[in-house]
Chains A and B, each alone.
Chain A
Amino acid sequence: GENVEQHPSTLSVQEGDSAVIKCTYSDSASNYFPWYKQELGKRPQLIIDIRSNVGEKKDQRIAVTLNKTAKHFSLHITETQPEDSAVYFCAAKEASNTGKLIFGQGTTLQVKP
């Protein structure tokens, strides 16, 4: 089955700097990769997703890149703000007749004012 590795586990940046979180996956047939942001005590919130037929997607300060050959995808947050502080999870949808998402271990991002 699919396996997703996420790095780093913690990331601390200064407000205004960029943050990059990287994930690798094992099943080359996986075709959907969402990113979720979870603030303390709240629900995981989808912030961006990418399908395997595109290499990059951008939404304001957030972008995701996908390298299918290398089987990795990354989240880029530019001009970070304190409200970006949260746990970020990457996920890959298993390539089977199921909607199962396989999540990475999570990255705790701290943006210092």
Chain B
Amino acid sequence: EAGVTQFPSHSVIEKGQTVTLRCDPISGHDNLYWYRRVMGKEIKFLLHFVKESKQDESGMPNNRFLAERTGGTYSTLKVQPAELEDSGVYFCASSQDWAGVENQPQHFGDGTRLSIL
């Protein structure tokens, strides 16, 4: 079974530019999550999709961040315009909570290391 895949693995852009990160969850996983780890700090939740719907976007920092999951398969996270404080590692995770069986493990991708210059 292929794991969660993220693209690109690294991205270096200048302040004010736009970057789009992509996440392909494990096939069949309805739940898709985005997290971010800023250097040396904890992993912080950004948002949660159930299929194509945003279940919880309480962790999104501001309106410069836009996440989509059209068709309920892969997801994109766009940052526009990027600011210095957006630097960090962006992780995607997926899980499949079966009806009546909650709290299935979240499987993480390798992350995208985003550097804003």
Find chain A residues with CB under 8 A from B35 CB: 101
Q: Name the segment of B14-22, B53-61, B77-85 touching the other chain.
A: B53-61
**In the assembled complex, A55 has its CB within 8 A of some CB on chain B:** no
A99 lies within 8 A of B55 (CB):
yes
CB distance from B82 to the nearest CB of A (A): 22
Asked if B42 is at the interface (CB within 8 A of a chain A CB), the reply is yes
> Does chain A have a CB within 8 A of B87?
no
State whether A99 touches B106 (Cβ < 8 A).
yes
Q: Nearest Cβ distance between residue A7 and chain B, in whole angstroms? A: 13
- Verify if B108 is at the interface (C-beta below 8 Å from A): yes
- Count of interface residues, chain B, beta-carbon cutoff 8 Å: 27
Chain B residues positioned under 8 Å from A93 (CB to CB): 103
Known contacts being A44-B43, A105-B41, is A100 close to B109, with CB within 8 Å? no
Q: With an 8 A cutoff between CB atoms, is B68 at the interface?
A: no
Interface residues of B in 48-79 (CB under 8 A from A): 48, 55-56, 58-59
Return chain B residues, CB-CB under 8 Å to A105.
Answer: 41-42
Chain A CB within 8 A of B110 CB: yes
- C-beta contact mask, B80-96 vs A, less than 8 Å → 1, else 0? 00000000000100010
Residues of chain B in range 89-116 having any CB-CB distance to chain A below 8 Å: 91, 95, 97, 102-103, 105-111
A97 touches B55 (CB 8 A): yes
Chain A residues 74-90 with CB under 8 Å of chain B are 89
Is A89 a contact partner of B42 (Cβ separation < 8 A)? yes
Note all chain A residues with C-beta closer than 8 A to B103: 31-32, 49, 51, 93
Chain B interface (Cβ < 8 Å from any Cβ of A): 3-4, 31, 33, 35, 41-45, 48, 55-56, 58-59, 91, 95, 97, 102-103, 105-111
Given pairs A43-B91, A98-B56, A99-B56, 19 additional interface contacts (CB within 8 A): A31-B103, A42-B110, A44-B108, A46-B105, A46-B106, A46-B108, A51-B103, A89-B43, A97-B55, A98-B58, A99-B48, A99-B55, A100-B45, A101-B33, A101-B35, A101-B106, A104-B42, A105-B41, A105-B42
